[in-house]
Amino acid sequence: MRKLSSTNDTKKDLQSLEYAEEKVKPKETPVEKPEKVDVRGIYLNRTSITEDNVQKYIDLIKSSNLNAAVIDVKDDYGKLTYDSQLELANEIGSDSNPATKDLEKLIQRFKDAGIYTIARIVVFKDPYLAANKSDFALKRKNGTVWQDPSGTKWVDPYKQEVWNYITDIAKEASESGFDEIQYDYIRFPERAKQVDQEVAFDNPNGLSKADNILAFLKHSEEQLKNEPVYVSADVFGLVTTASDDMGIGQVWENISPNVDYISPMTYPSHYAPGSYGVPNPDRAPYEIMLQAMKDAKSRNGELTEQGKEAATIRPWVQDFDYKSNYTAADVQKQIQALEDAGISQYLIWNAGNVYTVEAFK
């Protein structure tokens, strides 16, 4: 008959076993991410990724020198473009009437065509979540829900519940096969001075706006550390040059070291007269893009000198009419400026996805 061990002996045995398991426990292996490529892509909204329309854009990319698509996953209205399994999304119906019933199948179509896929997630501009979860909404000082001049509601960027919702969506996008997560509207509302007078932020720790954006990125990094995706962030074009956060929380030195790619929205039509000494920036696409990229590269260079790893610069290029009619030549001038600045990646923006294809044939 086997002699029963005493309680003390049993404890020693268990401790020895735990110690042995710790010693043989394999080290955590890094997540294998997609092969890095020089991305040249276009933006696709929810209408463009429907079954009826998507092949047209796959063909457009394949017939040009493009190789990537930025696909709406959570759009400017706060609606998801796919059928989500997230409890909050199902509770408020943010995934109702999705553009695609099978996100994995959709992404596989792009992958089969050799196209790099980027999931665009609009972060703090979320009128749908703000309307359906008023606790998360940006509030006026009298407790009512705040709206911007266009009547759009935002969520409070300080809310941890919002951070979790965003990163849960990012995880679903990763699991569906996307190569990259792109955060857009990762900022506070513009017209900052007026907003600050009107709004009561839920900010018990007293974080500055810039520190809060940084904290969100750190949170995202932790949540996505086991996901095989890169992360990018869209920033205002002037973030390449501004010495402060412009009241929206975006500081180049905070964001660039904490994402893989940084995408300044360097649309010439959005620069004020006199920017970079240019009287009419809208009609100087080459000059505006070139100067913005020089500043961006300079700031990344300073980060590198400090021993920090800076993000790859991948700007947005204007391919839409705003103050004037934008032609293929205007698009090409921006791309030429990028080449002259030594930048090989870019994304083309047109909200309606009507592109001047001849500009990047």
The 10s digit of each residue's pLDDT in 220-248 is: 999 999 999 999 999 999 999 999 999 99
Query: 35-360 is classed in which CATH architecture?
Result: Alpha-Beta Barrel (3.20)
What pLDDT sits at residue 7?
40
* Res. 4: pLDDT tops 70: no
Q: Which among 207, 295, 288 is positioned nearest to 253, based on CA atoms?
A: 295
Q: Any idea what DSSP says for residue 2? A: P
* 8 pLDDT tier (thresholds 50, 70, 90): very low
Which of 15-29, 67-81, 172-186, 205-219 is predicted with the least confidence, judged by mean pLDDT? 15-29
The pLDDT of 118-123, averaged and rounded, is 98
pLDDT, tens only, 245-266:
999 999 999 999 999 999 999 9
Q: Which position has the token pair 């294809």?
A: 357
Tell me the C-alpha distance between 251 and 256, whole Å: 9
Kindly state the helix (H) or strand (E) to which residue 70 belongs, with its residue range: strand 68-74
What pLDDT sits at residue 157?
98
* Res. 9: pLDDT tops 50: no
Kindly state the helix (H) or strand (E) to which residue 254 belongs, with its residue range: helix 252-255
SS3 state of residue 100: strand
* 3 pLDDT tier (thresholds 50, 70, 90): very low
Name the more confident of 25 and 99: 99
How many C-beta neighbours within 10 Å does residue 341 have? 18
* Res. 99: pLDDT tops 80: yes
* Res. 268: pLDDT tops 60: yes
What pLDDT sits at residue 42?
98
Contact 129, 155 (CB under 8 A): yes
* Res. 35: pLDDT tops 80: yes
* 360 pLDDT tier (thresholds 50, 70, 90): confident
What pLDDT sits at residue 65?
95
Tell me the C-alpha distance between 296 and 338, whole Å: 11
What pLDDT sits at residue 29?
60
pLDDT, tens only, 278-317:
999 999 999 999 999 999 999 999 999 999 999 999 999 9
pLDDT, tens only, 313-355:
999 999 999 989 999 999 999 999 999 999 999 999 999 999 9
* Res. 181: pLDDT tops 50: yes
Domains of the chain, by residue range, sit at: 35-360
* Res. 27: pLDDT tops 60: no
What pLDDT sits at residue 17?
37
Q: Which position has the token pair 């979540």?
A: 129
What pLDDT sits at residue 19?
38
The pLDDT of 188-195, averaged and rounded, is 96
* Res. 213: pLDDT tops 80: yes
Kindly state the helix (H) or strand (E) to which residue 297 belongs, with its residue range: helix 285-305
What pLDDT sits at residue 34?
85
Tell me the C-alpha distance between 93 and 89, whole Å: 6
* 48 pLDDT tier (thresholds 50, 70, 90): very high
Tell me the C-alpha distance between 76 and 185, whole Å: 9
* 13 pLDDT tier (thresholds 50, 70, 90): very low
Of all residues in the chain, the percent with pLDDT exceeding 90 is 88
* Res. 176: pLDDT tops 50: yes
